[in-house]
Amino acid sequence: MHIVVNEELKAYIDPLTPEEHEALERSILAEGCRDALVLWGDVLVDGHNRYGICQKHGLPFQTVQHPRFKSMDDVHLWMIDQHLGRRSVSDFQRGVLALRKREILAERRAQVIAATADMADTASAPADPAPPPAADALKSRADIARAARLSNSQVVLIEKIQKQAAPELVAAVKAGTISINAAAAVASLPAEEQASAALAGKDELKQAAKRVREEKRRAVAALLGEASDAAAGGEAPWDADAADAGDVGVTVQALQRRVADLTAENQALRAEVARLQAD
């Protein structure tokens, strides 16, 4: 049987650790390859490790065709769902996979919307075009958290790691050398400092995370102090010139503007405090 190993598909899901691969090899040598390899035509979709082990030792295996694959996106979504349901997948990996799923579904939805709009511009467009798919779109952070069996705050941290972390730091998270929470803190540092801490090992990563958190606590305290000063009347909440002129209407308008400004500043400070504490 001719089987094609697509390197992009093989690398789409994080590989097994050496220990996990050794355990799988021992199991297959003892019990044979019990689970069928999943194919899309002649392309191997699921079972790369089992296939490699069977080839290495000349062991037989079974294959099965997946009947509903129509595109590479279908393949990716299926692979993601398979791994999201496995207990051996770490919290970080599940978060990354759920975020990938959101991107694929969002892109697919955008394509359907664009195609529907193009059809509407032609004479052959149906009177009532089908609506774009919506049910599985993972639109909100809560949707992603449910799909990955994580909390909303964990999803926020994983998004930050994806956007800001140096490759060395990401590798440390995947290896379990540093927690998601600590990695998100270290990801605030310049890339060179992240890489240096990651290469130095677990203890240096902990110290780096501690330094970042201490700096953010000081920043939060400073922001709270500024908010307290404003509330204590550091600035006059009215237009003094208008009051001196006896223009009550102008004074009321000035008060309203100042109240709105202070409210906006307070909300911004609260949002910044919440963001820093989440980090």
> CATH assignment of 1-69?
3.90.1530
* Average pLDDT score, the chain: 83
Q: Is the pLDDT of residue 63 over 50?
A: yes
Q: Where are the domains of the chain?
A: 1-69, 72-147
CA-CA distance, 89 to 147, in Å (whole number)? 13
Range scoring the smallest mean pLDDT among 60-74, 185-199, 222-236, 262-276: 222-236
Query: Residues 214-230: what's their mean pLDDT?
Result: 75
Q: Is the dihedral of CA 87, 88, 89, 91 positive or negative?
A: positive
Residue 38, strand partner residues: 46, 64
Range scoring the smallest mean pLDDT among 62-66, 68-72, 102-106, 137-141: 137-141
At residue 189, the pLDDT reads 94
Could you tell me which of 210, 31, 180 has the C-alpha nearest to residue 96?
180
The H-assigned helical ranges of the chain are: 7-10, 18-31, 48-57, 72-84, 91-120, 141-148, 152-164, 167-175, 180-186, 191-200, 202-231, 240-244, 248-278
Range scoring the smallest mean pLDDT among 18-32, 79-93, 125-139, 220-234: 125-139
Q: Is the pLDDT of residue 160 over 60?
A: yes
Q: Is the pLDDT of residue 244 over 90?
A: no
Range scoring the smallest mean pLDDT among 23-27, 39-43, 81-85, 215-219: 215-219
Contact indicator for 6, 32 with CB cutoff of 8 Å:
no
Angle formed by the axes of helices 18-31 and 48-57, nearest 10° = 60
At residue 21, the pLDDT reads 94
Please tell me whether the overall predicted TM-score, pTM, comes out greater than 0.85 for this model: no
Contacts of 170 (CB under 8 A, 6+ apart): 161, 162
Q: Are strands 63-65 and 43-46 parallel, antiparallel or unpaired?
A: unpaired
CA-CA distance, 174 to 95, in Å (whole number)? 12
CB atoms within 10 A of CB 69: 18
Range scoring the smallest mean pLDDT among 19-28, 58-67, 205-214, 263-272: 263-272
Q: Is the pLDDT of residue 245 over 80?
A: no
Range scoring the smallest mean pLDDT among 81-95, 120-134, 179-193, 221-235: 120-134
Six token digits for residue 182: 């600590």
At residue 71, the pLDDT reads 93
